[in-house]
Each structure stands twice: as C-alpha cells, then as structure tokens.
Amino acid sequence: MLIEQYEIVKESIFLFDNLEEKIKGRLVKIIKGANAAYQWDLNYYCRLDYEAGVYYPSAPFGDSIAEAEHKLMAYVKRFENAVQVEPNTFY
C-alpha cells in the first residue's frame, strides 16, 4: 500500500563564499502524505553564532508553492552567516 508520494517541483543549488559545501534545496508537491500541499528540504542545515546548535526547521511545509519557496529561501539566507553546517541525512 502506497503511504507517501512526492513530485519534485524545483531544485536549486546555492554556493556561498564562506562554505565549502554545495547547498541544495528542493521543493516538492505532496501527492499523498502530509496535509500540506508542498514541502521543502535542504541537503544541509546550519547553526548561527548565537545558537546553541544546528537549527532543524519544525514545519517545512506550505499551502502553496510560493509559501514553501519563501520559507526555503528564508532558511537559505541563514547560510550567509553560518558557523557550522550539518548534513541532512534524509535528503
């Protein structure tokens, strides 16, 4: 029985002069699964200087592609000041 299905809508690659890692972000349409229509994820997450640890977003969802992309880009902006990055093992 199929329990989840996603369709990749958009994938982007981000390069920062302060990081060696290539950051990849993706937006997916949820065909079957969670209640939201769209979800975003990244291949890395990061920590800013004033944070105790790497921040993992608790609600990477959106009711529209625009909302999900806005949330993705808000997180991506954090990499400009990242002091630590950690791979997302679920990407």
pLDDT of 33 reads 85
pLDDT of 58 reads 94
Please say if the pLDDT value at position 19 is more than 90: yes
pLDDT of 36 reads 81
Q: Are the C-beta atoms of 74 and 57 separated by less than 8 Å?
A: no
Task: Give the residue ranges of DSSP H helices in 1-91.
Answer: 65-78
> How far is residue 14's CA from residue 68's CA, in Å, rounded to a whole number?
17
Mind listing the pLDDT tens digit for each residue in 28-76?
999 998 788 999 999 999 999 999 999 999 999 999 999 999 999 999 9
Its pTM stands at: 0.92
Q: Measured on CA atoms in the order 17, 23, 28, 33, is the torsion positive or negative?
A: negative
Rounded average pLDDT over 24-28: 98
What SS3 class is residue 81? helix
